[in-house]
Amino acid sequence: MKKRTDLSVVILAAGKGKRMKSERPKVMFDLAGWPLIRHVAETAKALTPARLVIVAGHGRDQVEAALDGFGAEIAIQREQRGTGHAVRSASRLLAKQGGTVLVLYGDVPLITAATLKKLLSTHRRRKAAATILTAVTADPTGYGRILRDDGPSGAILAIREERDATAAERAVTEINTGIMAFQSDLLWPALTRLKADNVQGELYLTDVPGLLIGKGEKVVAVTADDVLDVRGINSLSDLAEAAGRARMRILADHMERGVRIVDPSTTWIDRAVKIRPGATIFPFTVITGCVSIGKDCEVGPFSHLRTGATLREGAQVGNFVEVKKTVVGKGTKAKHLTYLGDAVIGERTNVGCGTITANYDGKDKHKTTIGDGVHVGSGTVFIAPVTIGDRVTTGAGAVILPGNNVSDDETVVGVPARVVSAGKERE
């Protein structure tokens, strides 16, 4: 993809997130299988900026690790002295870049590339010094308010933080989403003029538009179509609300592409999950991490697919089946009460009710390999590492010990399992 040489993106992610009541840095909380910061970084990447800078501070090691290999630059804000100070931390990297600087907040994860493109095109068309993404909401509590001229122009005057606002200002329902585009050469000098003369004693990015207006520069706004896309995550209840929104978006996207989701209200699918059209997901299914589901697969009801699960075409997993780091072959079925972990299962195998791959010996994880056309009897336990050939049958309740590999066509029964009918070649 061609990079936009005139665009730099800065994502603010240095704050502690006190209101989350957790040691974990706020931007590292999980939303649909990715930390918040990853959602914002992926959306930023879709704009193909020339530079992408993440401002990290609190928990910076975790933030850096989460974006390892992502191609973003990291600027460190050692002390968290406010959002204006945070942007300034990126000046060393970006001051000479010129063009447009787009500031995103690491705690506003559901922002879409479409909304940002709209913001950037207005910013360029109007040749504004700064363009603010605003939103209108019945409940503006906690957000900065957009103060506009009462006159017919309705021009923007300033942004007022809630803590610094008068009662009349608090009644304003147009809020600052935090997302702003700036002309680079006007932004960096303005940041040096910020003062911490506010209730929090911080250097607010939100004071920059007012400073620019004071210098006779043009500041305009773009209003987001839906406030739910631009909500900031400040508390665990904000996070739960955003997770619900992310979920509906993900499900809608799958349905749009031809995946049948029988009951969206009880289905959770993480953002990195890949599902081929023609698959059906039944109610009460949870699919987390990196999972891949083939054409015509059936999943659920009540299935839990975890990271590393791959279901090949036409595979079926059903009630109370958990699958982790396992390949379930073409047309293979595991319909009831089963755990499949660290396994590779061939094609057209039937995994009976209550089957367990016992993959963990208390210290290490081990692998189970099961062939094609196997008939796994109910309640079979495979104690890994173990390899089972093609067309094997296991009796109900068989326990197959580590290393007791079973050859093609054999039937094994009992505890520990022993061969009762040998493979064809030995008949």
Paired with 311 in beta bridges are: 293, 328
Q: Which residue, among 374, 297, 383, has the nearest Cα to 339 in the 3D structure?
A: 383
* Residues of this chain, 153-182, that bind ligand UD1 according to CB under 6 A: 159, 161, 175-178
Smallest distance, Ca ion to C-beta of residue 12, A: 9
Let me know if 336 is a catalytic residue: yes
The answer to the question of residue 83 lying near ligand UD1 (CB under 6 A) is yes
Site size toward ligand UD1, by CB under 6 A: 30
DSSP track, 295-334: TT-EE-SSEEE-TT-EE-TT-EEEEEEEEEEEEE-TT-EE
Angle at 115 between CA 110 and CA 118, to 5 degrees: 165
Site size toward Ca ion, by CB under 5 A: 3
The answer to the question of residue 108 lying near ligand UD1 (CB under 6 A) is yes
Compare residues 81 and 366 and give the one whose CB is closer to ligand UD1.
81
Compare residues 205 and 251 and give the one whose CB is closer to Ca ion.
205
Q: Site for Ca ion (CB under 5 A): which residue of 25, 49, 232, 314? A: 232
The answer to the question of residue 82 lying near ligand UD1 (CB under 6 A) is yes
The answer to the question of residue 77 lying near ligand UD1 (CB under 6 A) is yes
* Candidate list 39, 304, 336, 366, residue with the active-site label: 336
The answer to the question of residue 25 lying near Ca ion (CB under 5 A) is no
Q: Are 122 and 131 in contact (CB under 8 A)?
A: yes
Distance, in Å, from the CA atom of 414 to the CA atom of 47, rounded to the nearest integer, reads 60
DSSP track, 187-228: HHHHHHT----STT----GGGHHHHHHHTT--EEEEE-S-GG
The answer to the question of residue 143 lying near ligand UD1 (CB under 6 A) is yes
Distance, in Å, from the CA atom of 361 to the CA atom of 366, rounded to the nearest integer, reads 8
The answer to the question of residue 229 lying near ligand UD1 (CB under 6 A) is no
Smallest distance, Ca ion to C-beta of residue 149, A: 27
The answer to the question of residue 161 lying near Ca ion (CB under 5 A) is no
> CB nearest Ca ion: which residue?
232
* Residues of this chain, 233-272, that bind ligand UD1 according to CB under 6 A: 234
* Alpha-carbon distance values, 83 to 37, 103, 104, 191 (Å): 16, 10, 11, 10
The answer to the question of residue 81 lying near ligand UD1 (CB under 6 A) is yes
Burial of 104 from C-beta contacts in 10 A (0-12 / 13-18 / 19+): buried
Q: Which residue, among 350, 351, 355, 353, has the nearest Cα to 339 in the 3D structure?
A: 355
Cβ atoms within 10 A of the Cβ of 316, count?
21
Q: Which residue, among 384, 326, 388, 380, has the nearest Cα to 351 in the 3D structure?
A: 380
The answer to the question of residue 107 lying near ligand UD1 (CB under 6 A) is yes
The answer to the question of residue 107 lying near Ca ion (CB under 5 A) is yes
* Residues of this chain, 209-228, that bind ligand UD1 according to CB under 6 A: none
Residues near Ca ion (CB under 5 A) are: 107, 232, 234
Binding positions for ligand UD1, rule: CB under 6 A = 12-15, 27, 55, 77, 80-83, 85-86, 105-108, 143-144, 159, 161, 175-178, 204-206, 232, 234
